[in-house]
Structure 1
């Protein structure tokens, strides 16, 4: 019961930006369901909590989970300038960890139990000290790719190579396929608040009781081996999206439309919830789809009528194309008709493409996306990156031809099919991610 001071009480700290909150909340709900006697206090910004807990602070699905609002650091009436996309993040970082500390004490008082574990976004380097002061385990959750995590642990070595104008990272085990041009700019920046946070994270992660990853075992054995040698414990419990898979919501009729298409013929285009390519690249994609005569489904976040040249779209689409404001991505990528995925190479999208067994055409924009796109092409060989790093009509058409047709396309499909089997096997009742999840529950609530 909530008034028993001897019970377990897990504090969950989220990073309330981009796509960080949803996977952590989904994981916490699973742990809370597996351990109903354990209390969970979920700390995020007010704005984030309003979207995740519309009915109030109690969670509709988990009675033992309560949300708490953490101050985001923004002054009264603050409106982002729009000039600097990381401005809200930098404002938030000025007030950590004090904003978490004060609400943590309030949650302990309200729920009548001291914290017994800190489960946090891996970004929060300060959680290592907080956990140590309380003599409780710290369990950080890494939601991006394993190779990006390794890069943060190897930041000093990467900066040294960069400082001597090195172009490749072949001296670093696990990153030998990467080039300096694939590296996250945050790893090379020694001054700005966000990169400083990531550098501190890399220094303290070896203190964690376990690092939880949105990945599955044997996806990249060399990277995994390096991570295990540097961290106390690594628990691959992914792909998160499969536990449990989302219900089908298809208000725009994507699945019935795909049902009418030939097997492995459709190009699915989506750049996630944050990114929109510049106008000239959008035009290039449309022209390339027209040139290759590929049927396509485009999940377009924005005003498609205003932003995609209509005469081009009509020429490319005819009866072959469908543009929607949102698509049920996991279900789309799992459909037999989809033959290629044009993507920004965000880690969630890469995982969902693997789960669907769909080859990728990558055009990365920021963060770990360049590393992911490089791994897709050079490590797993399950897709290609757009030549030159940006969409042109020619480069996009060539990339689509490579993954959709011929011997190369056939080999790519075979390799991504093998990764699909590994991902699905990992979340089976006896799979590695299921076993690792059980070990996680034991660490967090034991």
Structure 2
């Protein structure tokens, strides 16, 4: 029997591409042919970061379709990006499927038989069905995030939200027992950028919710034992995480990783380094970056700080590097899974993206939480209130009105780092979750069994 061929379609953002690339490598290792479909811009970024010219990195065939935005347009504006790709990508995806299948028919090769799409791109399922493809969804966020979005109609009915998705009820909200509580002002669709773009984001969620029933199953980068409450609400969601990728396989990074991080970490004492990274989208102004730098210096501890390309001007970046030396190191991007697994790392100052959260869980690293937008507030609730593996950075009152951008002073940064590193109970809980995650992906573990079932489904 010929190997099945699968199209994989992520939401066009780094935090969505990475876990879907990890899943793709797993599929390839088990005999499935994968064509990974990025937007044209992201496709170019990934191949550029590899610097090899390889269009099939790690055996994954890389292809692209346009997102509808022009060169230089702001793709960090999620509402603008969403509005554009919602209009353009369905037709482009349909043309791509037809083109691949026509080419494979001429070559007498197996046609595309499956589409695995990010649940944030579930609009693609009707397109796939039109061409006779089977479909599966992939949830790159917490299962609790997926559950919260699917339950929007019930939340409107119960008076938690109005018809536009804005909160009618003030205070904390918990969807079900054993799930994290979240302030009603922090639902992801209301924290995705400028409030003017909220209707576009909310409409996309509605559209995706309506299409999810077309997926035969949904796999999730999570662990059954970490999210029992959320997963009990949706038995057909299969947690297969924490997903990871071996160091010899490309993770789908948009920027080249600084390989020298490993040698620098090797030179540091065990459990001494403060690792700082805020993902691919979070942005802070110059004043906040300076306060953060000074706070890290006040700890008198070594630190590794990722300041991604474009998030600070050249002059400021050089200033931060000068201030960091000799104890600290500022890099533009790094192999985060390897960094978090390094014995020198003591804690992780993070934006609480789900990838970062799961990578920290896998390595048993305690977290200092500084969420910025979308699902990060829910993830913080898991970390600090449910699992007890981290602490919150106290945001000033102004942050509530500015989506987390109120100025956090250097003394606050120093004090919270010292508090976290002095908290042996939090560290012990982080190590316990590490052991739980390792059991889940090990022989007989819940994630391993779910992944095997999914592989059998795709190959069947």
Change (3 A) 1:215 1:262: same
Cα deviation per residue 1:334-359 (whole Å; 9 max; x = unaligned)? 22222111111111111111122111
SS in 2 for 1:97: helix
Report the counterpart of residue 100 of structure 1 in structure 2. Answer: 93
1:370 matched to which residue of 2?
377
The aligned length equals: 426
Deviation of 1:141 (Å): 0.8
Deviation at 1:46, TM superposition (A): 2.8
Task: Say whether 1:440 aligns with 2:440.
Answer: no
| 1:179 alignment partner in structure 2 | 183
Matches for 1:294-313 after TM superposition, within 5 Å: 294-302=301-309, 306-307=315-316, 310=319
Normalised by the length of structure 1, the TM-score is: 0.84
Residue segments in structure 1 that go unaligned for 5+ positions in a row: none
Instruction: Point out where structure 2 has 5 or more consecutive residues left out of the alignment.
Output: 163-167, 251-255, 396-403
Higher mean displacement: 155-164 or 102-111: 155-164
Give 1:313 shift. Answer: 6.9
Answer whether contact 1:360 1:384 (CA < 8 A) is retained.
yes
Residue number in structure 1 paired with 2:12: 16
Q: State the alpha-carbon separation in 1 of the partners of residues 354 and 205 from structure 2.
A: 17
Alignment pair present for 1:400 and 2:417: yes
User: Which residue of structure 2 aligns with residue 244 of structure 1?
Assistant: 246
Partner of 2:401: none
Name the residue aligned to 1:49. 43
Q: Is the 8 A contact 1:283 1:309 kept in 2?
A: no
Aligned to 2:237: 234
Contact 1:53 1:59 survives alignment (8 Å)? no
Counterpart position of 2:165: none
1:437: Cα distance to partner?
1.7
> Equivalents in 2 of 1:201, 1:395: separation in Å?
40
C-alpha separation in 2, matches of 1:441 and 1:83: 34
Question: Bigger shift: 351-360 or 156-165?
Answer: 156-165
- The change in CA–CA distance for 1:141 and 1:84 in structure 2 (over 3 A counts) is closer
Over aligned residues, Cα RMSD in angstroms?
3.1
Distance 1:71 1:247 in 2: 26
Q: Does 1:117 align with 2:114?
A: yes
- The higher relative CO (CA closer than 8 Å, separation ≥ 6) is in 2
Q: CA distance change for structure 1 residues 82 and 355 in 2, over 3 Å: closer, same or farther?
A: closer
- For residues 243-262 of structure 1, give each alpha carbon's deviation from its aligned partner in whole angstroms, at most 9, with x where no partner exists: 43557998563333333433
